[in-house]
Structure 1
Amino acid sequence: MPTISMFYGIIVRMLYMDTKQHQLPHLHVEYQGMKAVVTIPEGALLEGEIPAKKLRMVQAWVAIHEEELMANWTLAVNGEPIFPIEPLR
């Protein structure tokens, strides 16, 4: 599962060809052993848990990088290499 960004202890990943379980564009997020799945572009929590403050950071990052994330999603579902995205600063 490729890591596309890391910021404030949050690791953001995107799986290749990951459309069977959730069917929506989404990210896999990890923070201190907690895991969550967050939709693109809404930033809604689909599964799992992370602290509310960290979720809001992820949601802000998703809003800023919506176009890049959707481009990565298209590449990933087609099994093509994805690119890293700037972290939240």
Structure 2
Amino acid sequence: MPNIGNTEVAVGIETGIVTGKFPRRALSAVLEWDVLHRDESMANREATMNRKPLSKIEPLE
């Protein structure tokens, strides 16, 4: 879960629903990353549920 200082945000993998508070600029970056890597996030979610190793997901550049 991304965090900055005492703030953190969660973005639902399937829904994209954002909970928590985050600086607007940082939240934009998190949401951009989410769009670019949603399929990879979903695959890792499935791997977690099946107790399989996770794949590395590249950070936003």
Confirm or deny that 1:58 pairs with 2:26.
no
- How many pairs align? 61
Partner Cα separation in structure 2 for residue 41 and residue 52 of structure 1? 22
Moved more, 77-86 or 65-74: 77-86
* Higher fraction of helix: 2
For structure 2, the 5+ residue unaligned runs are none
Structure with higher Rg: it is 2
Amino acid at match of 2:11: V
Percent identity of equivalent pairs: 31
Confirm or deny that 1:31 pairs with 2:4.
yes
* Higher fraction of strand: 1
For structure 1, the 5+ residue unaligned runs are 1-27
Length-normalised TM-score, structure 2: 0.78
- From 44, 48, 53, give the equivalent of 1:76: 48
SS in 2 for 1:59: helix
What's the CA shift for 1:45? Answer: 0.6
Q: Which has the higher contact order (CA 8 A, sep 6+)?
A: 1
Contact preservation (8 Å) 1:75, 1:82:
yes
SS in 2 for 1:35: strand
